[in-house]
Amino acid sequence: MKRKLLYIFYIFLSAAVISSAAQPPNRLLAAGDKPLKRFNAGEREKKLFKALGIKSFNCYEYEVGLGGSRQAAKLLHSNHYGGDANLKYTIHYDAEGRSAVKDTYYYDGAGNKIAKIIKNARGATQSKWLFKHDGSNNIIRMTLFGETNEIRGRWTFKYDKEANLIEIIESDGDDDIFNRSVSVYSKNKIFETNYNAENGIDNKRVYTLDGGGKKIEAVHYDQAGAEKIKTYFKYDTAENLIENAAYYPDGGLSFKFTHKYDKENMLIEKTSFDKSGKPDKIYIYTYEK
């Protein structure tokens, strides 16, 4: 259950950069360092959607290796937005193209997301997320509830005065801590350490940022400090992510994605590659204004 909760959390916050250090640091920046420029991909996308008047988009998938074609692409999900560019709801579709799951989002007057309700095709609630924010609109608590309204997990977040995330504590429904992440920032690096339920080091990550605050490299280390995987991120001149690929220490490919955009910087195609480096699946994005 704890590992499952951890997986759910990282899927939900896949863009988050978190943690390092044996104990929570008293300050975020090393002596003499200047605060890093922060890059928020979510906010950038929201501004773009609002400027272009995006009402919704559909994501389709087809498998290259099985001889699939764009005409045979299946609909995976569709996102629908309000006039403020806040995501109102997402519909996930099954293999036959039928609506299977619907995620509905709720916001406060400041535009902060305060709830996400997940329902199945029959309209029954499967789970829900509740979010609490501080006076600076940072998420400070996230709670996951199951279908019978039982608490399945809690996440608390701490920030420094620059609003950089410096600690995440993850606990189960009984408030037993099963993971803690701590971050230290120094120049263009973020040093993250993840601790297990016994407060022992589980793994470490080091992120390298470019001058605009975007991740250009992420290195994952095991408990003993040995490198497990290294991920690279490439961008175009408009700051669009065009490739992210991860490699093992022996040079073998773990995963790779490439991204294509239209002239308005909207993502229109994403390709995944298998471990041999051949295209595997292609995802197509279409938009409604």
pLDDT at 19 over 60: no
The whole model's pTM is what?
Answer: 0.84
Please tell me the predicted confidence (pLDDT) of residue 36: 61
Which H/E stretch holds residue 45? helix 41-52
Which H/E stretch holds residue 89? strand 87-93
Question: Can you tell me the distance from the alpha carbon of 72 to that of 45, in angstroms, rounded to the nearest whole number?
Answer: 29
- For residue 162, the Cα-to-chain-centroid distance in whole angstroms is 21
Contact 51, 224 (CB under 8 A): no
- When mean pLDDT is compared across 67-81, 110-124, 132-146, the lowest value belongs to 67-81
- When mean pLDDT is compared across 19-23, 94-98, 111-115, the lowest value belongs to 19-23
Residue 222 vs residues 177, 194, 219, 228: alpha-carbon distances, Å: 20, 10, 10, 6
In a 3-state reduction of DSSP, which class is residue 17? Answer: coil
Task: Give the pLDDT band (50/70/90) at residue 65.
Answer: low
Mean pLDDT of 143-171: 96
Mean pLDDT of 129-141: 97
Contact 273, 253 (CB under 8 A): yes
Residue 151 vs residues 35, 54, 142, 239: alpha-carbon distances, Å: 37, 35, 11, 39
